[in-house]
Amino acid sequence: MDNFQRYLTPDTGFLNPLKNQILAGLNEDLIPDISHLSEQLHASLDLTRVLQTFTREAANFVQLSGMRFQCESTCIETENFAQGIYEHITELSHNQQTLGYITYAAFREIGPKEAKVLHHMQSKLAQPVKHALHFAQLQQQALKDYLTKLGNRASFDEQIELAIERCERNSTEISLVLLDLDNFKFANDNFGHIEGDKVLQEFASIIKQSVRKTDIAFRFGGDEFAIILDTDNPDVAIQVANRIHTLMSQSEIMLRTCVSSSIGYAHWENGESSLHLFSRADEALYLAKHNQKAKQLKRA
């Protein structure tokens, strides 16, 4: 290992420009000293930062441009991953449990010697990745409504600000849709809370069926919901509302409990704050509820 360390620059610890020749001459049995790596990787619970730290260290021994980690819950690429010409895919596991799959992107083909070095280094990566995945899962749970699995109010507050930032940065637009259930209290009181929970879950399912994957739905609590529509077309909100009303009219539990929905929306205007956008959508919802009640009185 001493022969290898002589080629590291003293200031950065990165290989000097002779790295190609050095790597080509590595003895097949030469395994790098990575005793310091574990402490670096355990310094953060942010998965992207963990992967980036590992990539920088691995690039001292293999000509990596970056790496991608993929599992059921996430897919993260480090900086410059797309610049790689060759790829090497391997499984990342911890205590015989598969955590996900790593794709290394490199500027030159990863041969057996380089693969051996990477697999050796991965022994330090598995546990930090497991901890980071668990932390991310806890964060996601904290931002989800336990009953409907939609985002909660804290998630909405975060996502609406991010959505407006994207609008201002990319010159795009969004619509905010607010919804609540009419007659829900009556249904809850007369059919019981278990049936009331099923109504809320059914409504969440109807919302999911009515929007695209780029749209985000939330439950504020009680019978109040919201949707952020990723669209430049204000008419999309009307189309979504119509789909929701149609699906509710076809739902057995909604018909049996006599629950319907009022929906209001507002389309984001350039320079508008999230509070002002919400206020306009809330006013539209109030008018929708007022008109719904007026219709009910008229029918009676």
Residues 110 and 167 in one domain: no
CA 129 to chain centroid: 17
Integer Cα distance of 202 and 162 in angstroms: 28
- Predicted confidence at residue 208, as pLDDT, reads 96
Residues with Cβ within 8 Å of 6's Cβ and at least 6 positions away in sequence, in order, are none
CA distance 193 to 185: 10
The DSSP bridge partners found for residue 16 are none
Q: What is the pLDDT of residues 102-120, one digit of tens each?
A: 999 999 999 998 999 999 8
* pLDDT one-digit tens code per residue, 256-278: 999 999 999 999 999 999 999 99
**Rounded CA gap, 152 and 217, in Å?**
9
- Average pLDDT value for residue range 124-153: 88
- Domain region containing 167: 153-299
pLDDT > 90 in the chain, percent: 64
Residue 228 belongs to domain with CATH number: 3.30.70.270
Q: How many Cβ atoms are within 10 Å of 165's Cβ, its own excluded?
A: 11
> What SS3 state is found at 86?
strand
Residues 121, 157 within the same domain: no
Q: Nearest CA to 82 among 66, 69, 64?
A: 66
174 in the same domain as 111: no
**How far is C-alpha 128 from the chain's CA centre?**
20
- Going by pLDDT thresholds of 50, 70 and 90, the confidence category of residue 140 is confident
My answer on whether 134 and 169 are in the same domain is: no
Tokens coding 235: 């008419």
Single residue among 142, 166, 199 that ends a domain in this structure: 142
pLDDT score, position 295: 52
Is the pLDDT at 21 greater than 50, yes or no?
no
For 13-27, 78-92, 138-152, which range has the lowest pLDDT when averaged over its residues?
13-27
Q: What is the pLDDT of residue 230?
A: 93
pLDDT above 70 covers a percentage of the chain that reads 87
Confidence band (pLDDT; 50, 70, 90) for 33?
A: confident
What is the average per-residue pLDDT within 71-89?
89
Same domain, 100 and 195: no
Which two three-digit tokens encode residue 163? 């959505």
CB-based contacts of 63, cutoff 8 Å, min separation 6: 19, 20, 23, 106, 107, 108
Q: Distance between CA atoms of 65 and 80, rounded to whole angstroms? A: 6
